[in-house]
Amino acid sequence: MSVVKRKTWCAESMKKAVEAVQKKEMGYLKASKTFNVPRTTIEKYVKSNNVDEIINNRLGRKSALPLRIENELVKYCLVMEEKYFGLRAADIKILAYQLAIQNNINHPFSNNTFMAGKKWLNNFLKRHPALALRKPEATSLARIKGFTKENVESFYTILGKELEKVNFNPCKVFNVDETGITIVQHKQTKIIGMKGKKQVSKLTSAERGSLMTLVTCMSASGIYVPPLIIFPRKNMKAELLNGTPPGTISECHPSGWIQMDIFTRWVEHFISHVKPSTSEPVILILDGHYSHTRNLDVIELGRKHGIIIICLPPHSTHKLQPLDVSFMGPFKHYYSLEIENWLKNNEYRSVTAYQVGELMGRAYMKASTIENAVNGFRKTGIIPFNPNTFQDYEFVAETTINNEENIPQQESTLVASPISPVCTNTEISEI
């Protein structure tokens, strides 16, 4: 027996058909054909005084909470998510119970747990498709405070002036950033296991691995400068670079972190590939790490070779840095998969620094696509230049915190032009 689907017509068309008949502009049959709705349904709704309520009324069992209260709950969920205090599933079920009690509504919720059930939550999410259970990205309080409208506007003001010097050419705009990699997977992928089993395990090469730093750089047109990898050791061995992308360079430091002299050598590496000049300058966007902004040698190289250095506002790289937005995520994902595949093919062996180059190289080649580069600069509003990329609601949390705590604004953006460094950073402006 076939199931008859009810109420498949458009609510707006039904409303117009009912209004046309009530105003005697057309009869039932003509209205039915004109608006493509059932004639018998029009006849039923014409007799009603409140057409909107009947048309929008849902079929089936009524929800425990009225639609008006559910809509308010939806708004509250969205506001809390914008303020970085998103509600958990249990929070919504508790709120539903409390709303039913406070409004004297007969409800099927449990009086033992003082919350709504799982079935109610699932149906609630189905009734309001604007909501969904999402896994949030951890965002520190410093990032929330630092990503202010004033800082972003200041950054775009400076960026716009510098982009005019390169005629908004995407081939002349670059972004550089560092990321840490280890011999241990950054994130474990899900596996199929026994349902109900208390713990499901997966092999890793170590509990924790020594840190290596990868310096990457890409342009708004999809050009990638060969990376620099920093190994946590004193002496370099050529075999550590086996399998790395062509043109990769290496450095050694006991900590494995970027240092001023290492970043200076990377800038020289950048100049040898991009070949900027004072007549053909390029823009290099970077974060405020001390090895970038307090490095005299880098500033001198920028003046000499026509590199316009623009520093991102503090604690805003998760929104404004193209590499963070579109490249680092895919790269870390591919790198974790490469480690997992290596462990499967090399049973009971551990990944060491001698395998990192090859594993990193495979992941880098997969992530370094033109599409990722173009999307990163587009989403951050750098190329194509769009200072209105971020909407006001994205600064809601920052506005609330500043109003309540009277937090002073962060210092403004640093720019080092090829002719003279224009900046507000004390250490550089005194040069």
In a shared domain, residues 309 and 285: yes
In a shared domain, residues 115 and 169: no
In a shared domain, residues 100 and 33: no
In a shared domain, residues 100 and 224: no
Q: What are phi and psi of 297, to 5 degrees?
A: -65, -40
In a shared domain, residues 232 and 356: yes
Nearest 10 degrees: Cα torsion 188, 189, 192, 197: 30
For residue 307, CA distances in Å to 15, 58, 188, 278 come to: 63, 62, 40, 8
253's CB contacts (< 8 A; 6+ apart) are 230, 231, 232, 259, 262
Work out whether strand 224-231 and strand 415-416 pair parallel, antiparallel, or are unpaired. unpaired
Give the model confidence (pLDDT) of 323-354 as tens digits.
999 999 999 999 999 998 898 888 878 888 89
The mean pLDDT of 277-281, rounded to a whole number, is: 94
- The count of structural domains within the chain is 3
404 in a structural domain: no
428 in a structural domain: no
Q: How far apart are CA 232 and CA 205, in angstroms?
A: 18
Of 258, 386, 250, 377, nearest in space to 323 by CA? 377
Of 276, 289, 285, nearest in space to 156 by CA? 285
422 in a structural domain: no
pLDDT higher for 11 or 281? 281
136 in a structural domain: no
Q: Is 383 helix (H, G, I), strand (E, B) or coil?
A: coil
The domain of 283 spans 145-187+208-393
Please provide the average confidence, as pLDDT, over all residues in the chain: 83
Give the model confidence (pLDDT) of 43-53 as tens digits.
888 877 666 65
The mean pLDDT of 355-361, rounded to a whole number, is: 93
Identify the residue whose tokens are 């079935």. Answer: 119
114-133: b (≥16 Cβ within 10 Å) or e = ebbbeebbebbeeebeebee
125-129, 144-148, 156-160 — which one is most confidently predicted on average?
156-160
In a shared domain, residues 52 and 71: no
Q: How far apart are CA 64 and CA 100, in angstroms?
A: 8
Burial class (CB in 10 A: 0-12, 13-18, 19+), 320: buried
In a shared domain, residues 21 and 110: no
In a shared domain, residues 50 and 72: no
Read off the pTM.
Answer: 0.67
In a shared domain, residues 174 and 283: yes
In a shared domain, residues 88 and 170: no
Q: Do 64 and 108 contact (CB within 8 A), yes or no?
A: yes
Burial class (CB in 10 A: 0-12, 13-18, 19+), 283: buried
410 in a structural domain: no
Percent composition of the chain: helix, strand, coil (DSSP 3-state, to 5): 45, 10, 40
Q: Do 172 and 147 contact (CB within 8 A), yes or no?
A: no
Burial class (CB in 10 A: 0-12, 13-18, 19+), 380: buried
CATH number at residue 167: 3.30.420.10
Q: Domain end: 101, 127, 153, which one?
A: 127
Q: Domain end: 81, 100, 127, which one?
A: 127
Tokens linked to 176: 């550089």
Q: How far apart are CA 250 and CA 275, in angstroms?
A: 20
154 in a structural domain: yes
Helix axes 328-345, 353-367, angle to 10 degrees: 130
Give the model confidence (pLDDT) of 284-326 as tens digits.
999 988 898 888 899 999 999 999 999 998 888 889 999 999 9
Q: Do 57 and 67 contact (CB within 8 A), yes or no?
A: no
194 in a structural domain: no
335 in a structural domain: yes
Tokens linked to 172: 């002349």
